[in-house]
Amino acid sequence: MAEEAKWYVVHTYSGYENAVAAAVMKAAENRRMTDLIREVNIPMEKVTEYTDEGEKTVERKVFPGYVLVKMILTDESWHLVRNVRGATGFVGSDGKAVPLTEQEILDLGVEHREIVVGYEVGDSVKVNDGPLTGFIGTVEEISAEENYVRVVVSMFGRETPVDLELDQVEIIKE
C-alpha cells in the first residue's frame, strides 16, 4: 500500500457516534481490513458544569453526530464504513469523501506531532522559520507542553525576547 491513510468525517444519526465507531472497527477486523481502516475517533472535550449540587467535570462530544475515521479510501473501505448501521455517509461534496487537512487534524487534537527538542536553556540557536528567519539568539525558556520556546535575539542593537514554536529554531552546530 503506497497510499497514506487520511482522516475522513462520517456523519451519523444523533446519539449513534459510539455505536458507529465500534461497528466500523469490528467490521474492519472481521473483514481483515485493518490495513485500510486504521483508527476511529470521536473528538471529546472536558467541560465544567455548574448545577444545584455544585460543579462537576464531564466529557462532551465536540461534534455530535460525527465520527472521524483514519483510513485509506478504496471502494471496499468506503462501502464498509458507509454501510455500518447508524452511519449516514461521508462529509464531502457530490457524495465523495473529502479528507481533513493536516491543520484541521491538529486543531481538532486528533493527532499530536511529537517534536524532539535538540536544544536546552542557554544554547545558541538559529531561527529557521517565520519573519525572523536567519536570526541567532539564546534560548531563555522552553515549554514543551505549550509548544513554545523563548529566544533572546539581538534586534537593532537591543536584546529582545521572542516567543517561537519549538520547531521554528534549531541548535547551531559548531
Ramachandran class of 170: left when φ > 0, alpha when ψ lies in -120 to 50, beta otherwise: beta
Along the 174 residues of the chain, how does pLDDT read in single tens digits?
Answer: 447 889 999 999 989 999 999 999 999 999 999 899 999 998 888 888 888 888 888 888 888 999 999 999 999 999 999 999 999 989 888 778 888 888 888 777 776 566 677 888 999 999 988 888 999 999 999 887 778 899 999 988 899 999 998 888 888 876
Estimate the crossing angle of helix 75-82 against helix 17-30, to 10 degrees: 140
Q: What pLDDT shows up at residue 21?
A: 94
Domains of the chain: 6-108 (3.30.70.940), 124-171 (2.30.30.30)
Q: What pLDDT shows up at residue 137?
A: 92
Specify whether the CB–CB gap between 10 and 66 falls below 8 A: yes
Strand, coil or helix: what is 25? helix
Specify whether the CB–CB gap between 75 and 142 falls below 8 A: no
Alpha carbon distances (Å) from 13 to 8, 88, 126: 17, 7, 51
CA-to-CA distance for 63 and 86, rounded, in angstroms? 16
Long-range pairs for 112-115: beta carbons < 8 A, 24 or more residues apart? 115/144, 115/147, 115/166, 115/167
Q: CA 5, 11, 16, 19: dihedral to nearest 10 degrees?
A: -20
